[in-house]
């Protein structure tokens, strides 16, 4: 049985690293430490407020992270949990097909339009637009998400960074880490 990611990517799915293919073919749980970062000054204040809304810790540094990834009803689900606290659930709905289609990531009132670039076996999200309560945000006000997942030394390397264009704040917050599937972590103990 194929997953929503495999269906949407079509032939490009086979350009992903085999571990990323496996991640999207069956329900998966990845765990490990992540590093949460914030900009300094006013940009950091904006980043912490955004982090609080997204369920990301507002304290910089190392945090335990868990993400459950599964497909259901043609929709890709990511349920993230930092430090075993409240879960942050995103639904990724495919629109069209790769390379001209996109995904709609929905988390509460926020919706991101995301294209995908498959490069060197990795999955790179391409931020194309943002809606708040269904209303498109002007490009100048739009927070930009830069996110990717790849394989590095057998681990799932991922990073997420959020930048704000106006006022020119640059990257306001982010988190990144190298995760292992839950069964690998249990066997490694």
pLDDT in tens, 59-102: 999 999 999 999 999 999 999 999 999 889 999 999 999 999 99
Q: Which is more confidently placed, 181 or 185?
A: 181
Render 66-96 in DSSP notation, one character per residue.
Answer: EEEEEEETTEEEEEEEETT--EEEEEEEEES
Q: Is 187 helix (H, G, I), strand (E, B) or coil?
A: helix
d(CA 18, CA 122) in angstroms, rounded, equals 10
Tally of CB atoms within 10 A around 123: 23
Paired strand residues for 78: 69, 90
When pLDDT is averaged across residues 97-126 and rounded to a whole number, the result is: 94
Q: Which is more confidently placed, 133 or 59?
A: 59
- Write down the pLDDT at residue 23: 94
- Write down the pLDDT at residue 144: 82
When pLDDT is averaged across residues 31-59 and rounded to a whole number, the result is: 92
d(CA 121, CA 160) in angstroms, rounded, equals 18
Tally of CB atoms within 10 A around 148: 18
What is the residue-averaged pLDDT of the chain? 90
- Write down the pLDDT at residue 185: 45
Residue 67, classified by CB atoms within 10 Å of its CB into exposed (0-12), middle (13-18) or buried (19+), is: buried
Residue 164, classified by CB atoms within 10 Å of its CB into exposed (0-12), middle (13-18) or buried (19+), is: buried
When pLDDT is averaged across residues 25-39 and rounded to a whole number, the result is: 95
Question: What angle (nearest 5°) sits at the alpha carbon of residue 177, between those of residues 46 and 25?
Answer: 110
Q: What is the pTM of this model?
A: 0.88
């Amino acid at each position: 049985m194929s997953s929503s990611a495999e269906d949407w990517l079509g032939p490009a799915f086979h350009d992903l690293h085999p571990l990323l293919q496996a991640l999207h073919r069956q329900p998966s749980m990845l765990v490990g430490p992540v590093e949460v970062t914030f900009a300094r000054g006013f940009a950091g204040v904006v980043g912490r407020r955004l982090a609080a809304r997204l369920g990301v810790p507002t304290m910089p540094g190392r945090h335990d992270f868990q993400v459950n990834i599964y497909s259901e009803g043609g929709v890709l689900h990511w349920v993230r949990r930092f430090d075993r606290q409240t879960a942050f659930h995103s639904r990724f709905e495919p629109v069209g097909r790769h390379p001209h289609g996109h995904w709609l990531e929905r988390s509460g009132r926020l919706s991101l339009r995301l294209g995908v670039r498959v490069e060197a076996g990795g999955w790179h999200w391409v931020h194309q637009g943002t809606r708040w309560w269904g209303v498109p945000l002007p490009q100048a006000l739009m927070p930009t998400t830069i996110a990717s997942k790849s394989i590095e030394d057998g681990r799932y390397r991922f990073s997420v960074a959020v930048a704000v264009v106006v006022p020119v704040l640059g990257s306001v917050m982010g988190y990144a880490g190298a995760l292992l599937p839950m069964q690998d972590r249990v066997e490694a103990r």
